[in-house]
Chain A
């Protein structure tokens, strides 16, 4: 004889109540919903979101080398709060949609505590939207659209490169005085190009110049002949180019072939080291910006270069450049913030980073740097450089022309446009 089992209304309500309480304890309402690695012996996982293919593959590799060197140094000291640091890399393919997917997977499936890496601003923006949804701290190491710390700023995102506006401020006024007031803009047809050219346009207007034409360069352009003919027909005093990655390499090669680098003044907003390393100096025409150079002659620089060479003896790029530097500095500061906070709680780490101040000596730059708490962009020294034709060392390609303090080139537009989410709206977790 079998015993009859029945579900009474009372037992059903009890079960429902139990499930609800358990669910509430785990999922909220206080949004403290991810406790992946509270145990101190569990490794701290960092997701690396950088390009290994596409337009910025080469810069992505340099960016990763910088991150790995910083992580290696912390692991050699015993990790973060006794926890070893591990990394997982997904190729973001210089494609925003892939960036979103990579971020989603690294956070939700691989349970990474932090995300680091970007060269393309479109990709960085896509990653940061996903990161904000989860509250995951994300370091945009190397993308430099002004919107990254302006209208696309997020509470969880920190931007470590100088942006198009910073570089334009460092260059425009001087170039206008030296070369003339009729400017032509060459704009890569994506977020960084548009925003950088918009910043240049604003400054040209401010100093009394005029824009004679703006030529849009679609991403993936390899033939610049028609564009360069158009540039010649327009006869500008200055060409301000915001063209990056492989497009920029092809453009430089074709400008050098025509000898246009010497025939008109060029301002190349920012010049990433991996894009020009090993190229002939005639390809490196005009004036361009950078955040760091391996021959700055400041304390610590030669030791930093030696550490790079010891860690990457086989790398074709025998000296580090700005992309490596940004990857390294961003990662180092994140891990230092975790140490100072004594925790990997995202909100505590965010607050530490928001009040970050780094001395010029520690940054190996000419001026002290500081994190802008409103935009989450690192305010740092901006250098202008040109090709170093007199160098004996083949790697010594840049001749630094000037340095500007962070205050002199601060992007006030980004300050006005940034609107960070409140802490309460940012999910909290222990990495």
Chain B
């Protein structure tokens, strides 16, 4: 019984961590699903979103003079809401620019797309370094979601539960958008058969632009949510892109719920190994991937190809 009581906090913690992993993977999954493009700049867009939000939430008063002073006088909660709404929109614009650069690579060897997004990742990271410096940054969070609470004998972070709840809300909103709106239907159709979508008179170029921008803004949202947990430094995106890639492969490329469930599984595995065999905690997600892919090459919820018997 004691062992079970000891285990329970780790299971809850693993699930909350998994929801955050799922949030990180969401934008990545969308772009891979619709555009068949592995966006290696996902991590840098994640970092850029966090830096942009930090700029909006707590700008340097010297930059904006009296206006900046007035703005900083507003409640932190209000500035946080502005940051979490505006920063993803700004990163979506960067995503539009990146997609515009990508257009010449469509229909060619996928390596071109990989190289371009890899280059973009490096440019974005170095730009962040030039603009914000290489030191650690701290994003302030509203009082209501900061601090800790006691449950049983253990102290939990209030922000972590807020972040997990926020991740659930974003996941549900994205799902509703994809499943219950005509735009979502077009995106899904584009993922299934882009040529047929074009044949039906839908502007595929614009669809790709919007999907990439949407994916970039989801990366930014994940960056904003994760910053108070992971901290913020120019190369923080590297910590995001690897689990994101792993999760979509594990869940099955293009599968929405596959990515969510894979995220939760990775969170559980990392959380439990972190508690009971911490030296394996980083390795555990790769072992999980190997175990799944060995028996199910297309991931947990990947659809069978028409070429397969």
Q: Is B109 an interface residue (CB 8 A)?
A: no
Partner of A263, one of B155, B156, B274: B155
Interface stretch among A247-255, A323-331, A351-359, A414-422? A247-255
Given contact pairs A259-B155, A280-B138, A253 touches B229 in the complex (Cβ within 8 A): yes
Q: Is the CB of A221 within 8 A of B282?
A: yes
- Residue in chain B with minimal CB distance to A315: B133
Q: Is the CB of B157 within 8 A of A229?
A: no
**CA A56 to CA B9, docked complex, whole Å:** 33
Q: Is the CB of A57 within 8 A of B235?
A: yes
Distance between A268 CB and nearest chain B CB, rounded to angstroms: 16
Chain A residues with CB below 8 A from B9, complex form: 229, 233
Q: Is B65 an interface residue (CB 8 A)?
A: no
Distance between A227 CB and nearest chain B CB, rounded to angstroms: 6
Q: Is the CB of A218 within 8 A of B155?
A: no
Q: Is B228 an interface residue (CB 8 A)?
A: yes
Interface size in chain B (residues, C-beta < 8 A)? 40
Q: Is A246 an interface residue (CB 8 A)?
A: yes
Q: Is the CB of A229 within 8 A of B239?
A: no
Beyond the given A227-B278, A259-B155, please list 14 additional residue pairs across the A-B interface where CB-CB is below 8 A: A54-B235, A58-B135, A216-B278, A216-B279, A217-B278, A220-B239, A225-B17, A225-B271, A230-B274, A250-B230, A253-B228, A257-B159, A280-B138, A283-B138
Q: Is A85 an interface residue (CB 8 A)?
A: no
Chain A residues with CB below 8 A from B283, complex form: 218
Q: Is the CB of B135 within 8 A of A223?
A: no
- Residue in chain B with minimal CB distance to A186: B278
- Residue in chain B with minimal CB distance to A246: B233
Partner of B278, one of A215, A257, A277: A215
- Residue in chain A with minimal CB distance to B12: A229
Q: Is B146 an interface residue (CB 8 A)?
A: yes
Chain A residues with CB below 8 A from B272, complex form: 226
Lowest 4 CB-CB distances: which A-B pairs, in order?
A226-B274, A216-B279, A316-B133, A226-B275
Chain B residues with CB below 8 A from A230, complex form: 274-275, 278
Distance between B285 CB and nearest chain A CB, rounded to angstroms: 11
Interface residues of B in 1-22 (CB under 8 A from A): 6, 9-10, 13-14, 16-17
Chain B residues with CB below 8 A from A311, complex form: none
Chain A residues with CB below 8 A from B230, complex form: 222-223, 250, 253
Given contact pairs A58-B134, A58-B135, A250 touches B271 in the complex (Cβ within 8 A): no
Q: Is the CB of A232 within 8 A of B155?
A: yes
Q: Is the CB of B281 within 8 A of A221?
A: yes
**CA A278 to CA B232, docked complex, whole Å:** 12
Q: Is the CB of A218 within 8 A of B228?
A: no
Q: Is A189 an interface residue (CB 8 A)?
A: yes
Q: Is A66 an interface residue (CB 8 A)?
A: no
Q: Is B148 an interface residue (CB 8 A)?
A: yes
Interface residues of A in 359-400 (CB under 8 A from B): none
Q: Is the CB of A58 within 8 A of B136?
A: yes
Q: Is the CB of A223 within 8 A of B134?
A: no
Can you list 15 A-B pairs, Cβ within 8 angstroms, ordered by A? A218-B283, A220-B239, A221-B274, A225-B16, A227-B274, A229-B9, A230-B278, A232-B153, A233-B153, A233-B154, A253-B138, A254-B157, A257-B146, A276-B136, A283-B138
Interface string of A275-287 (1 = CB under 8 A from B): 1111110010000
Chain B residues with CB below 8 A from A130, complex form: none
**CA A98 to CA B1, docked complex, whole Å:** 49
**CA A226 to CA B274, docked complex, whole Å:** 5
Distance between B118 CB and nearest chain A CB, rounded to angstroms: 15
Given contact pairs A225-B157, A316-B133, A257 touches B228 in the complex (Cβ within 8 A): yes
**CA A384 to CA B235, docked complex, whole Å:** 31
Q: Is the CB of B10 within 8 A of A229?
A: yes
Interface residues of B in 132-162 (CB under 8 A from A): 133-138, 146-148, 153-157, 159-160
Q: Is the CB of B138 within 8 A of A225?
A: no
Partner of B233, one of A58, A215, A225: A58
- Residue in chain B with minimal CB distance to A283: B138
Given contact pairs A316-B133, A316-B135, A258 touches B282 in the complex (Cβ within 8 A): no
Partner of A274, one of B135, B156, B271: B135
Interface residues of A in 205-220 (CB under 8 A from B): 215-218, 220
Interface centre among B135, B147, B272 (most CB of A within 10 A): B135
Q: Is B97 an interface residue (CB 8 A)?
A: no
Q: How many A-B residue pairs have CB under 8 A?
A: 118
Q: Is B247 an interface residue (CB 8 A)?
A: no
Q: Is the CB of A226 within 8 A of B229?
A: no
Partner of B6, one of A233, A277, A279: A233
Given contact pairs A216-B279, A278-B136, A317-B135, A226 touches B155 in the complex (Cβ within 8 A): no
Interface string of B150-179 (1 = CB under 8 A from A): 000111110110000000000000000000
**CA A215 to CA B273, docked complex, whole Å:** 11
Q: Is the CB of B281 within 8 A of A218?
A: yes
Distance between B273 CB and nearest chain A CB, rounded to angstroms: 8
Chain A residues with CB below 8 A from B233, complex form: 58, 246, 249
Q: Is A53 an interface residue (CB 8 A)?
A: yes
**CA A276 to CA B135, docked complex, whole Å:** 9
Chain B residues with CB below 8 A from A203, complex form: none
Q: Is the CB of B229 within 8 A of A223?
A: yes
Chain A residues with CB below 8 A from B16, complex form: 225
Partner of B155, one of A250, A258, A283: A258
Chain A residues with CB below 8 A from B137, complex form: 278
Distance between A315 CB and nearest chain B CB, rounded to angstroms: 8
Q: Is the CB of B136 within 8 A of A258?
A: no
Interface string of B251-291 (1 = CB under 8 A from A): 00000000000000000001110110011011100000000
Q: Is the CB of A279 within 8 A of B278?
A: no
Q: Is the CB of B153 within 8 A of A229?
A: no
Chain B residues with CB below 8 A from A276, complex form: 136
Given contact pairs A226-B13, A246-B233, A274-B135, A232 touches B154 in the complex (Cβ within 8 A): yes
Q: Is the CB of B231 within 8 A of A250?
A: yes
Partner of B157, one of A216, A226, A258, A274: A258
Interface centre among A54, A229, A280, A317 (most CB of B within 10 A): A229
Q: Is the CB of B154 within 8 A of A229?
A: yes
Q: Is A176 an interface residue (CB 8 A)?
A: no
- Residue in chain B with minimal CB distance to A277: B135
Distance between B128 CB and nearest chain A CB, rounded to angstroms: 13
**CA A221 to CA B134, docked complex, whole Å:** 19
Chain A residues with CB below 8 A from B135, complex form: 58, 274, 277-278, 316-317
Q: Is the CB of B279 within 8 A of A226?
A: no
**CA A259 to CA B156, docked complex, whole Å:** 9
Q: Is A260 an interface residue (CB 8 A)?
A: yes
**CA A227 to CA B148, docked complex, whole Å:** 16
Chain A residues with CB below 8 A from B271, complex form: 223, 225-226
Q: Is the CB of B279 within 8 A of A218?
A: yes
Distance between A75 CB and nearest chain B CB, rounded to angstroms: 26
